[in-house]
Amino acid sequence: MPPTIKDIAKQSGVSISTVSRVFNNQDLVKNETKQKVLEVIEALGYTPNFVAKRLRSCKISTIGIVVPDISAAFYAEIIKGVENKANDIDCGLIVCDAHNSRDKEKEYVRYLYDGRVDGMIFVVPQLRDDDLRKIAADGLAIAVFGKDMSGFNIQSISVDNYSGAYQAVKHLYFHGHKRIAYIGGIEAENDYDHRARLAGYRQALIDNGLGVNDAYIENGAYCEEGGGSAFLRLIKLNEPPDAIFCANDEMALGVIRMARKNHIEIPEQLGLIGFDNIRVGQYISPSLTTVNQPTYTIGVLLGERLIFQMTNKEYGQKTLNLILKPELVIRESCGC
């Protein structure tokens, strides 16, 4: 039979409440007593069941958040929103960088699920829907950003990517551009954002009588280098585009950098719009027209939804996916 907290108290010659104070790292215990208790814990090989303890006390100690790439400004803002919400209830936050890898995400799930957190937030996960459903079915509170999980009774938030892309392309058409290209991410099974933005791009072209030219659709990594490389391929076409809509701002920054190297003026020779509204976009020259996603607010809302389901024992109602509407932020790169 595994040792209990009573065994530790008896062998240490202290009360059960003193052992509990040691577990909680409270200052009320003298250092010598604390050391003695810790030695007994190690000798007996006792492992406290922190998960059961948290459930009994209804106290949230730690939240885990898994993001695709911690170096991306977009995800950093979401993390900040979650962290500030967690701070409101003195809750810790463990941030995990999945390096855009499903295997890495699964690794973090195993790590965090082993009693280290009370709930988990997944930001644009590569995990399959069924993987997320199983995690929730096991009783761990989770919240997801980037896909609609309401069908699995999982709290989720998403952005109307289709509408955002449609607005961007329509605005470029308004400026007289007829050869509008799209730079998106490499096609992936769970990349809902890319598919929705590409669909919005295509429909805006069709609705404005331009038609879809597949030669103007380029893919690459969601980073400056990916955007820059895709741009170089586009300008080598016999009839290069006169405007580009990028699936995120970091790609758009890559376009600006490579356009400058190739002596192409933005917006005079090339209209450009990004997506996300990361902070640096307003400070570069030309300042970047973009589709705004309220990243910090997304983080706060994810934190609120996760904390609510962890602190409400009666929670179990049918959840709805919260869809946020993006807005076009007009600056210089589009020609305005």
Spell out the per-residue pLDDT of the chain, length 336, in tens. 667 778 888 888 988 778 777 765 555 678 788 778 877 876 776 655 444 444 444 456 889 999 999 988 899 999 999 999 998 888 899 999 999 889 999 999 888 877 688 899 999 998 999 999 988 888 788 999 998 998 888 999 999 999 999 999 999 999 999 999 999 987 655 577 888 999 999 999 999 999 999 999 999 888 899 999 999 999 999 999 999 999 999 999 999 999 999 999 999 999 999 999 999 999 999 999 999 999 999 999 999 999 888 877 555 555 678 999 999 999 999 999
CATH number for the region 5-48 comes to: 1.10.260.40
Q: How many CB atoms neighbour CB 52 within 10 A?
A: 10
The answer to whether the beta carbons of residues 69 and 76 sit under 8 Å apart is: no
Q: What single-letter amino acid sits at 247?
A: A
Domain 61-159+295-324: CATH superfamily is Response regulator (3.40.50.2300)
Q: What is the pTM of this model?
A: 0.77
- Asked if the bond preceding 294 is cis, omega within 30° of 0, the reply is no
Token duo for residue 80: 């900040």
> Which element (helix H / strand E) includes 97?
strand 92-97
SS3 call for 241:
coil
Topology classification of domain 161-292 = Rossmann fold (3.40.50)
Domains 5-48 and 61-159+295-324 share a fold: no
Per-domain boundaries in the chain: 5-48, 61-159+295-324, 161-292
Supply 220's token pair.
């690459």
Give the Cα separation of 258 and 125 in Å (integer): 30
Cα–Cα dist 91/296, whole Å = 18
- From CA 258, how far away is CA 224, in angstroms rounded? 10
| Distance between CA atoms of residues 167 and 289, nearest Å | 12
Among 104, 100, 129, smallest CA distance to 188 is for 100
- In 3D space, the residue among 267, 241, 258, 283 whose CA is nearest the CA of residue 332 turns out to be 267
The enclosing H or E element of 269 equals none
Counting every residue, how long is the chain? 336
Cα–Cα distances (Å) from 235 to 181, 203, 208, in that order, read: 10, 23, 23
285 residue type, one letter: S
With CA atoms as reference, report the closest residue to 230 among 263, 266, 186, 268: 186
